[in-house]
Amino acid sequence: MFSTLLCMMCVVGTGEDIRIQGSSGLVREGPWRAWLQSPGGELPFGLEFRKDDSGWHAAIINGAERIEVPRLTVGPTEVVLQIPHYDSTISAKLLDGGRRLEGEWKKRGRNDKWTKMAFYADAGDTHRFAECKAAGGQRASGKAVAGRWAMKFTADTDPAIGVFEAGEGVSVVGTVLTPTGDYRYLAGDFCGTQKSSSEYDGQLRLSAFDGAHAFLLTATTTDGATLSGDFWSGETFHDTWSAKRDESATLPDGFTLTRGVETAKLSEVMFPDLDGKKHSLADPAFAGKVRIIEVFGSWCPNCHDASTYLVELHRKYKGRGLSIVGLAFEYTGDFQRDAEQVRAFAKYHKIEYPLLLAGVADREKASAALPIIDKLRAFPTIILLDAEGKDRAVYTGFSGPATGDEYTKFRTKFESLIEELLGGPKSGPG
């Protein structure tokens, strides 16, 4: 069902912005096992260094996802990996003859506060997690947890769904779906033993790191039908969760959660562009047979997935009358700083449609700034308008490529709506 999680190699970004400085140093080419030191223990991810005629390159790897690091500095004693579209940096010292890295990951957050976590990496190790200490003390098949799970996070009132699948060898890949977005590419393993044809005893371990997210999920099972465990995000957040196998588990339709406001006037909603010039959403430059308003933040990984898709849509349909405008809600509230961050976001995704700086990344304040919808419930939110500026659909959150079939279903429905408004034949993903 979710085979795309296994076969798709997702390359985030093009790597064209990679800049190499300093000496080639002693860093070892090939795969590395990297991890952040989370309060829940090691939060691992894959890392790769390679060298070609243009110099050194690095990639962050989570299951099927491969993220090319936009800016890499390799020196005799230090390596710096910069991810400017998230305002995120890993700085590490080279040790043990280039076989070890030790340093820090830092990412700018709200109100200029920084997330900081200790970073480590060892060359040549391809195991995502370290040794197993659960029942049996060995890595078992990912089939132990493969399937669909109805999940409940203790601190969250919204339901969630875990979708897990056996990867290569004994690994587990998948994601967590929620009404406001997914947890992107999770990867890990199952440690334990098989008690019978359908019963397992052991521990599930999953993680994801993409420069912005730093997720660690662990859980235990004694019967193969229920899970109970912990979730850590970043340097401080912790929650507990539980899950039961449920192949029919569903979430509310993202097209039903947020409503457009018919009485709202686009001409009365105004925001500055990245140079400070104000525009209303009724600006002729934003007009088209079909209009999309994307509410996003450069800090939001699900927004990056959404923007990747919208760039694809813009190239596919702009010649037929599709217009897109992005409304950015950023962290700092400092116009110049936030505009610089949105420019980095636009450069990374090669966005050709206009972007406006709409405010700070606060859902209540963003709701007040957007009278065209009843309430902003999630970043991103995608608003589809017809040629007269009347809303035809509002989609809350985003089910990205890590969700497999969910992503395909969304694309098929959304592009059918666009085709209908353009007056052409319906089609699925192009």
Question: Of the candidates 74, 98, 123, which is a domain's last residue?
Answer: 123
Own/partner pairs, 152-155, CB within 8 angstroms, 24+ separation: 152/241, 152/242, 152/243, 153/231, 153/239, 153/240, 153/241, 154/239, 154/240, 154/241, 155/239
| Closest C-alpha among 212, 214, 220, 213 to residue 241 | 220
Residue 255 identity: F
Return the pLDDT at 196.
82
* Per-residue pLDDT, 134: 67
CATH number at residue 141: 2.40.128
280 and 160 housed in the same domain: no
The answer to whether position 427 is within a domain reads no
pLDDT of residue 131: 82
* Among candidate residues 191, 216, 245, the one where a domain is terminated: 245
Q: Which residues of the chain have pLDDT under 50?
A: 1-24, 426-430
Please tell me the predicted confidence (pLDDT) of residue 24: 42
- DSSP string across 325-340: EEEEEESS--HHHHHH
Q: Identify whether 129 is part of a domain.
A: no
Residue 172 and residue 285 in one domain = no
Amino acid 335: pLDDT: 96
Per-residue confidence (pLDDT) for residue 7, from 0 to 100: 36
Same domain, 372 and 408: yes
Could you tell me if 360 and 238 lie in one domain? Answer: no
Domain boundary among 210, 245, 280: 245
Strand order, beta sheet including 322-330: 355-360, 322-330, 290-296, 381-386, 391-396
Co-location of 70 and 188 in the same domain: no
Same domain, 185 and 162: yes
Count of domains in the chain? 3
67 and 211, same domain (yes or no): no
Structural domain boundaries enclosing 32: 4-123
Beta-carbon count within 10 A of 169 CB: 10
Residues 73 and 25 in one domain: yes
Q: Are residues 66 and 182 in the same domain?
A: no
- Identify the residue whose tokens are 């371990």: 205
- CATH code of the domain in which 284 resides: 3.40.30.10
428 within domain boundaries: no
pLDDT tens column, 135-145: 667 788 888 99
- Give the per-residue pLDDT at 21: 40
| Claim to verify: residue 238 and residue 281 sit in the same structural domain | no
Query: Residue 186 domain-assigned?
Result: yes
Shared-domain flag, residues 417 and 273: yes
Are residues 185 and 321 both part of a single domain?
A: no
In a domain, 118, yes or no: yes
**Tokens for 399?**
């089910």
Domain annotation covers residue 377? yes
